[in-house]
Amino acid sequence: MKTALLLVTSCLTAFTVHANASERYATRPPVVMSPDLSAPWVMQLRERPIGTSANIRDRVVLSDPPARGSSVHRREARRPARTEEAANPAVREVSFRRPAEPAAEAQPKKRSMDPKFLPQTVAYDGPQAPGTIVIDTSQRFLFLVEADGQARRYGVGVGKEGFGWNGTNNITRKAEWPDWRPPASMIEREKEKGKILPVHMEGGPANPLGARALYLGNTLYRIHGTNAPWTIGHAVSSGCIRMRNEDVTDLYERVKVGTKVVVM
């Protein structure tokens, strides 16, 4: 009996040694990695480098995409798409910053009128009688002469180079929110510059004649308002005297048809 047991033990020992020797040199099957690469045991393989994503999926490229319909594919379908910018912490930091303010020189400049052209009462010692309008085109001022050596002064825009004039006339007509019929010479002149003027424009805020107009004699010249108040104080018109709408309305109420107007 003892002899039989020793024989069986010797056979098993020989078989085990032979098997271990064979397995040492045998071709082993490839290691198959679990598709769930975010498992805790995988995350512990190495420390996360500074500045890289915490998700190992961002650092591992699968040779083949998971088959459609598999559990891995379904998980990927539910996960929101990650763009390169969203995965990069540096890009995220920049995207949440408040946009820089535009440079001061890039800001559009607000057009305004020089305050010296606002209405005010001034001393007057000229020869014209109270009630007369005197326009100083060189200084860009209109004076309404009053009693006691005073005058009400307004800033005006005057004729540009080549369109200035002087003389004496009377107000022959007054109109509120006048319509505009530019003369044929003006239409042709502006057309050569590439600007098309209307033959007729109804009165209103967009009309170049503004809120009020005082017509001078039988000429084409007027004292009128404007839709461009920042031009007051400049030589910009085709000969007319332009005022702010507020100012021409004030003057309109103070004068009547027949008022003398001296342009100098």
- The span from the CA of 97 to the CA of 89, in Å, is 13
**Is pLDDT of 162 > 60?**
yes
CATH 2.40.440.10 in the chain: give the residue spans: 115-263
Residue 160 pLDDT grade (very low, low, confident, very high; cuts 50, 70, 90): very high
Residue pLDDT, tens place only, 169-196: 999 999 999 999 998 999 999 899 899 9
Residue 150 or residue 63, greater confidence: 150
CA distances 40 to 113, 120, 184, Å, are: 73, 84, 88
- Catalytic, out of 11, 18, 234, 240: 240
Whether 254 has a pLDDT exceeding 70, the answer reads yes
Q: Of 11, 18, 73, 224, which is the active-site residue?
A: 224
Domain range 115-263, CATH architecture: Beta Barrel (2.40)
Closest residue by Cα to residue 33 from 81, 68, 72, 80: 72
- Give the pLDDT score at 105: 52
240 annotated active-site: yes
Q: Model confidence at 37, in pLDDT bands (50, 70, 90)?
A: low
* Cα–Cα distance for residue pair 43/185, rounded to 1 Å: 85
Q: For this structure, is 224 an active site residue?
A: yes
- Which residue, among 245, 260, 142, 154, has the nearest Cα to 203 in the 3D structure? 245
